[in-house]
Structures are given as C-alpha cells and as structure tokens.
Amino acid sequence: MRKNIAILGSTGSIGCNALEVIEALGEPYRAVALSGHRRLESLLAQVRRHRPAAVALTDDQPNEAAVKSLRQLGVEVYHGAAGMVEMVQRDDVDVVLAAVVGAAGLPAVLAAVRAGKSLALANKESLVVAGSLLIPEARRRGVNILPVDSEHSAVFQALQCGQGREVRRVILTASGGPFRTASKQKMERATLADALAHPTWRMGSKITIDSATMFNKALEIIEACWLFNLPPEKVEVVIHPQSIVHSMVEFVDNSVIAQLGPPDMRTPIQYALTYPERNSGISRRLDLTQSMQLQFEPPDFDRFPALRCAFDVAKRGGTLGAVLNAANEAAVEAFIEGKATFGEISRLVERTIESHRLQSQPSLDDLLEADRWARQSVREALSQSLMAP
C-alpha cells in the first residue's frame, strides 16, 4: 500500500500539522510533494526535513534563491498556480491533502479529482465555490473525498453508524468564536486583534476571522450539503463553546451519534490519511477524569447573519456559493488591511449576494466569473462607502 501524499499549502497551519502527523505515522506514509506561497524559509526547512520529490512555489514572483536551494536538494520545482495543478498529477502522488486557503485552492483540487487521486480536503472554499462540479466528477471517477474539517470528519465518522436514508439531521457544532457573547455594538467596531483571539482553535488568520463572523460555519453548512448529499433542511448548527463535541448525526430512531476529542486538528487530518484504518495518534487525548462542562446553545442569527446567508445560498445553489465565498474573501482581506470594519464584512457579503443574478447550472468559467464579479463588487461598495450600518 503506497501512501505518497502531496500537501498543498504545507506552510500553513493545516500543512504543518499534516507534516507532523505523516512523520509520526512513518512508513508507508510519505510527503512526496509540497507547496508554499510566501513563507519560503519555512518551506525550505520542511524540504530539508521531509525530502519531498517535488515542490510548487505558487506565488507569481519567482524567487531565484529558493529555486536554486530546492534544485540543490534534488527537488523538482513547479511554478505558480499552474505548477501546483501539474504537480498533483504526478504518478508518484497517491493522495492530495488540499490545505491552501481560499478559492485559490480550487484548480488543483479539481485537477486532483480529475487525475483520480484520493482527496483529503481541508480547503472547504473549493467545495463552496464548485461543489456542483467537484462532487459529480469525483463520483464519476470513483474518487474518495475525505473531510479534514473537524466537524465534517465527525459527521463522516458518525454516519458509519447507519444508512444514508436513516439520517434525520446533521448537527454541526460551532465554538461561537471570540464574539459569542459580545453585543452587536461591540462587534461592529471589533479590531483585528479582537477577531484573531479565537478561544479554542489556533488556525490561519482567514479562517480565524471567518470563525469570528461565523462565515466559517456558513461555509461548513454548504460543505456538509455537498459532502454528504444533504438538503440544507437536514443541517443544523449548535453553539458548543468548548469545541469537544466536533459534530453529531441524528438518526430516525432518535439516536444521536457524536465524535469527541480535544480541539486538535491532527486527529481529523490523520483519519483522512489512514481511513478506513485507525493508527495510534499524536494528537491530544480527551481526559474525562478532569471535571469539565459541555454546553450547547442555539446560534444567534441576528448577530451572525452569515448563518442565514448560508442556508439561503445552499437552497438556491448555482453561482451563489462562488459569490458568497469570493465576497467573504474580499471583505476579510479589506478588514485585515483596515479598509473595512468588522461589522461591514457580513453586510458586504449579504449585499453582494442580493445584487447577484444567479445562474443555476454554472460551468467552471461561470463560477470563476461569478468569483471575479463578487470581489469587484465588494471593492466598489467599499470605495463608495456604501456599507454603513
């Protein structure tokens, strides 16, 4: 059994955790291909340690020094977004772990599915944008898409306790992020530092801000519909501040099956790589001899309009997933650069969705065009200062 893994976005939070998991698993698991964007020092350190055969440098600016160092280490170097697409198709790649952030991950995810590679998917944005293309393509080619996202890994595991037709609903848990109990006024003007202070998870900055607005859960609602072939009416969200219960499935006999563990992404990453087997893990263990509380509460759709948006988009489909995702990426970028307030992020996304002319059976070009349109529309709204509350 070969388990040669390409990690796309190896320099990120998921990428670094994945390399730790692969190193601890040992043979036959190997990181044979890596990709990095800006953090080239970290990438080179990873290459020295893990000795992959191939590396993609995805940033458009060529870095001659990095290329030279990589070649000296005997690595085949690929360039740009197209290079990452080419790299995943290599014969020595069995599994692609997609951990690039944002819609930038989509072309390589699509190429991996088309090349018949197993896909361990962290890059939820690619499903939100193009689930309508990726899922049928994966089915046609018999490609397994194994979720890395902790909630979807939990659902995937719980679903093994019954048949698809026996599922009443899927319950996604959400920590509630740093503003779970904050007032609307406080959230409106929250700073970048406030939004980055996640109570339970350490992650990259984009997903951390998405957790603060709950657009992360919005993306996950849509992700769950695609991955598990569910209508949005069968997906629910519950706030669970401790992030111990990673999600649940309720079956028609009223049994609710949950998956638990401390918040540590190495558990779902490992399961996506070793499935259908389980190996001894390096992630933290759950210690129930320590007294702890597990709380559950309903989400607040008024303070977190992202959730409302997600159910609407999941119902209407077409190009709307691409629009929600791109508008959110552009709004988060603007917030990080100090060009939008925290409160404006949700309003920008809602307004962009409202003004979009939906196309119901989009091609890849239609989806990419909807993505471009949404980003432009956010930039225009910001430049015209349209987004006051």
Residues that bind Mg ion (CB under 5 A): 149-151
Position of minimal CB gap to Mg ion:
149
Q: Which is nearer to ligand NDP, 12 or 351 (CB)?
A: 12
Name the segment binding ligand NDP (CB under 6 A); options: 9-17, 111-119, 273-281, 360-368.
Answer: 9-17
Q: Which of residues 301-340 bind ligand NDP (CB under 6 A)?
A: none
Give the whole-angstrom CA distance, residue 129 versus residue 350.
16
Pair of tokens at residue 62: 């060529």
Q: Residue 299 interacts with ligand NDP (CB under 6 A)?
A: no
What value, to the nearest 5°, has the Cα angle with vertex 306 and ends 223 and 136?
Answer: 20
Give the whole-angstrom CA distance, residue 348 versus residue 374.
10
Give the whole-angstrom CA distance, residue 260 versus residue 271.
14
Q: Which of residues 142-181 bind ligand NDP (CB under 6 A)?
A: 149
Q: Which of residues 33-52 bind ligand NDP (CB under 6 A)?
A: 36-39
Size, binding site for ligand NDP by CB under 6 A: 27
First to last CA, the chain: 57
Q: Which of residues 116-135 bind ligand NDP (CB under 6 A)?
A: 122-125
123 binds, among ligand NDP, Mg ion, none (CB under 5 to 8 A by kind): ligand NDP
Q: Which is nearer to ligand NDP, 30 or 266 (CB)?
A: 266
Which among 388, 351, 344 is positioned nearest to 213, based on CA atoms? 344
Q: Which is nearer to Mg ion, 94 or 329 (CB)?
A: 329
Contacts of 74 (CB under 8 A, 6+ apart): none
In DSSP terms, 249 is beta-bridged to 170, 257
Give the whole-angstrom CA distance, residue 376 versus residue 52.
38
15 binds, among ligand NDP, Mg ion, none (CB under 5 to 8 A by kind): ligand NDP
Q: Which is nearer to Mg ion, 151 or 264 (CB)?
A: 151
Query: Which listed residue (137, 162, 166, 201) binds ligand NDP by CB under 6 A?
Result: 201
| Residue matched to tokens 């501040």 | 241
Q: Which of residues 339-378 bind ligand NDP (CB under 6 A)?
A: none
* Phi then psi dihedrals of residue 10, to 5 deg: -70, -20
Contacts of 366 (CB under 8 A, 6+ apart): 319, 359
Query: Which listed residue (203, 258, 269, 332) binds ligand NDP by CB under 6 A?
Result: 203
Give the three-state DSSP class for 370. helix
Q: Which of residues 86-115 bind ligand NDP (CB under 6 A)?
A: 99-101, 104
Q: Residue 9 interacts with ligand NDP (CB under 6 A)?
A: yes
CB of 22 to ligand NDP, least distance (A): 15
Give the three-state DSSP class for 286. coil
* Phi then psi dihedrals of residue 51, to 5 deg: 50, 55
Query: Which listed residue (4, 5, 12, 330) binds ligand NDP by CB under 6 A?
Result: 12
DSSP string, 172-186: EEE---TTTT--HHH
Q: Residue 11 interacts with ligand NDP (CB under 6 A)?
A: yes
Contacting residues toward ligand NDP, per CB under 6 A: 9-15, 36-39, 58, 99-101, 104, 122-125, 149, 201, 203-204, 206-207, 265
